[in-house]
Amino acid sequence: MERRELSPRGRRAPRPGQLSDSPAGLSATPAPGLAVEVKVPTEPLSAPVGKTAELMCSYSTSVGDNFALEWSFVQPGRPVSSSQPILYFTNGQLYPTGSKAERASLLQNPPTGGVATLKLTDVHPSDTGTYLCHVNNPPDFYTNGLGLINLTVLVPPNSPSCSQSGQTSVGGSAALRCSSSEGAPRPVYNWIRLGSSPTPPPGSMVQDEVSGRLILTNLSLVSSGTYRCMATNQMGSASCELTLSVTDPSKGRVAGAVIGVLLGVLFLSVAVFCLIRFQKERRKKPKETYRGSDLREDATAPGIYEQTSVRADSNNGLLERPPSANTVTTAKSKLPMVV
């Protein structure tokens, strides 16, 4: 039994010399050589950032008046139906379009010799994706005339950022992280320890080259030091460094006790100094002075002092007249009144 191909529209393609089943009953026999065959590389292509990429595309057909070529671009992860045009060639004219118009051209213009290679200059990281080479030559409907090319723009890794987390004390665990925001293909990460200090035991160091994470377990004082992370791909490498300081909680408690003792001694010394200074200031204070209006406990009453002085004078051989009542009254009148 003879098998016949189905056309893209779901109908059986008529054999040469056979009438089609169209309502008009017209012959659809294609002329020899109109079948389009597009050839593109089967392997993905790559180009360094800033360089020129050539996307090879060739075709075989008999070029007629309806020949047309279109290049379009699809971002990674997007369907082919969302392609964005880059350039057209139709009616003998080339029409670049889209965001890549200024950097896109054809290796051969016009592309009527079977070569439809696209030339893209100064490639950017955003140029990574799938490119479609579409040759259209009606009335050919036997093939879709489409070729797909995957392009990767190679970018060296930028300087990664290093960070750490976890409990950085003796017996604890710490995680060191390293990551680059740029790099194609995706860089791999490798941690090394700098200096001549002893390297921690292998069982206590586990690193992931894909995520850039280094896990340190059962930390000791020997684990302290400077660690360097290298981000590398086929375009180059970059690095960052991080210093890990492991502390001993027991030494911290001893240091705290020593500091507490020193503060106590300092406080006591200040208190003694203040007390001594207060005693010295008290000794230098002047004696208390009495005003005329103040009464003193050791003061002698006016009348008694005069009698004592008379006795003393009589003992010395001097006889004076005893004080009269008027004199005593006068003396009493001069006594200050205390309220």
Cα–chain center distance at 249? 30
For residues 144 and 168, state if they share a domain: no
Its sign, for the CA torsion 292, 294, 298, 303, is positive
Per-residue pLDDT, 152:
95
Task: Using the predicted structure, report yes or no on whether residue 258 has a pLDDT greater than 90.
Answer: no
Give residue 92's pLDDT: 87
Could you give the 3-state DSSP secondary structure of residue 106? strand
In degrees and rounded to multiples of 5, residue 336 shows phi and psi of -70, 145
Classify residue 113 by its DSSP letter.
S
Per-residue pLDDT of 210-230, as tens digits, reads 999 999 998 888 888 999 999
Choose the final residue of a domain: 120, 136, 154: 154
Q: Are 232 and 186 in contact (CB under 8 A)?
A: no
Query: Across-strand partners of 241?
Result: 228
Instruction: Give domain status of residue 306, yes or no.
Output: no
Question: What is the arrangement of strands in the sheet containing 225-233, beginning at the earlier edge strand?
Answer: 188-193, 225-233, 236-244
CA–CA separation, 186 vs 172, rounded Å?
32
- Is pLDDT of 162 > 90? yes
Residue 56 located in a structural domain: yes
Task: For residue 117, tell me if it sits in a domain.
Answer: yes
Domain boundary among 133, 154, 175: 154
Last residue of a domain, one of 96, 123, 154: 154
Q: Is residue 230 assigned to a domain?
A: yes
pLDDT in tens, 31-90: 445 578 899 999 999 999 999 999 999 998 776 778 899 999 999 999 988 999 999 999
The structural domain count of the chain equals 2
pTM score above 0.75: no
Query: Which is more confidently placed, 270 or 77?
Result: 77
- Give domain status of residue 138, yes or no: yes
Indicate whether 14 belongs to any domain: no
CATH number, domain of 115, equals 2.60.40.10
Note whether residue 271 is domain-resident: no
- The CA distance from 300 to 296, in Å, is 9
Residue 259, in any domain of the structure: no
Is residue 112 located within the same domain as residue 178? no
Q: Is the domain of 178 the same as that of 237?
A: yes
**109 lies in the same domain as 201:** no
The range of the structural domain enclosing residue 130 comes to: 36-154
DSSP symbols for 3-28? --PBPTTSSBPPPTTPBP-STT--B-
Rounded distance, CA 263 to CA 259, Å?
A: 6
